[in-house]
Amino acid sequence: MSFTTIIDGLSLGAIYALIALGYTMVYGIAKMLNFAHGDIIMVGAYAIYSTLLLLDLPVLAIAVAVVVCIALGVVVEKLAYRPLRGASPLAVLITAIGVSYFLQSVAQLIFGAKSLPVSVMEPNTIHLGDFMTISVSTIITLAVGSAIMVGLTVFIKKSRIGRAMIAVSEDRSAAQLMGVNVNLIITLTFAIGSALAAVASLFYLMQIPSTSPTLGSMPGIKAFTAAVIGGIGSVPGAMLGGILLGLVEKICLSIEVIAPYTTAIEFSLLVLILMVRPTGILGKQIKEKV
């Protein structure tokens, strides 16, 4: 296990954490599992691909991806999830799965099932000393990812909207009585989650430079796992879970004997953690009341 592995793991963890934040914020505030979140990453990746096809400007591409993803997240929330507010969580979950299928099949109809190459940036590496090689994209991912996470934490703790979000997640009806516009807060949560997914899609493309309609499903499921490991609904939990999962994945992949079983190990980690702490590492233990 070298230093490079750990840096790679941290950077992958940052990607998972960004996606997991979207899951966890939506869960905390709208009390629903947004299974379509992984597919928003996929849409972001296709947005980057299309923009780069027209104009070779990576900065413009990421801006377009963020705008497209935010618009998509808000529209999905309005059309598919809002009518079901107050319905059973299972119904909402199944609708979210429907949305996920819908996005995947639309992408396949437009772009085809084959994976398309996307080169966001040239692969450069930096040599530190004799034994370490770190790619530039890893450093960018780690730096920007951490900056976003710190920014988001400050935003939620300090800003008016952030505190409104905490209020809604703690008690929706009490927040409404205090004058918080719950619908607006939920829409904003979806917008922030989708924007983070767009950024995650850029980082993902920096690591694996190709996009396909099912690009979002595996990182989506893994990030969801990360969110649950950290305790779904908890923002620091999502970051912790994401980084933990990224590290475990890269470390497992670097050891030859257990490398094929990486997926099994990651998901077993989830099961083990949930058996010890049923609501994740930082999740709140909810007492049953009669």
Binding site for other proteins (CB under 8 A): 27, 33, 80, 83-91, 93-95, 97-102, 104-106, 108-109, 112-113, 213, 217, 221, 224-225, 228, 232, 260-264, 267-268, 270-271, 274-275, 278-279, 288-290
Q: How far is the CB of 219 from other proteins (least distance, A)?
A: 13
Q: How far is the CB of 246 from other proteins (least distance, A)?
A: 17
Q: How far is the CB of 104 from other proteins (least distance, A)?
A: 6
Q: Which of 85, 99, 77 is nearest to 220 (CA)?
A: 99
Q: How far is the CB of 149 from other proteins (least distance, A)?
A: 22
87: three-class secondary structure by DSSP:
coil
Task: Tally DSSP H helices, then E strands, for the chain.
Answer: 11, 4
| Residue 126, H or E segment | strand 125-128
Q: How far is the CB of 260 from other proteins (least distance, A)?
A: 4
Measured from the CB atom, the residue of 8 and 266 that comes closer to other proteins is: 266
Measured from the CB atom, the residue of 138 and 225 that comes closer to other proteins is: 225
Measured from the CB atom, the residue of 34 and 189 that comes closer to other proteins is: 34
Tokens linked to 206: 């920096």
Sign of the dihedral defined by the CA atoms of residues 63, 65, 68, 71, in that order: negative
Give the N- to C-terminal CA distance of the chain in Å, as an integer.
50
Half-sphere exposure of 219 (CA within 13 A, CB side): 35
C-beta separation of 76 from 32 below 8 A: no
C-beta separation of 203 from 19 below 8 A: no
Q: How far is the CB of 208 from other proteins (least distance, A)?
A: 19
Paired with 132 in beta bridges are 128
Measured from the CB atom, the residue of 88 and 129 that comes closer to other proteins is: 88
Q: What letter represents residue 54's amino acid?
A: L
Measured from the CB atom, the residue of 93 and 136 that comes closer to other proteins is: 93
Measured from the CB atom, the residue of 62 and 222 that comes closer to other proteins is: 222
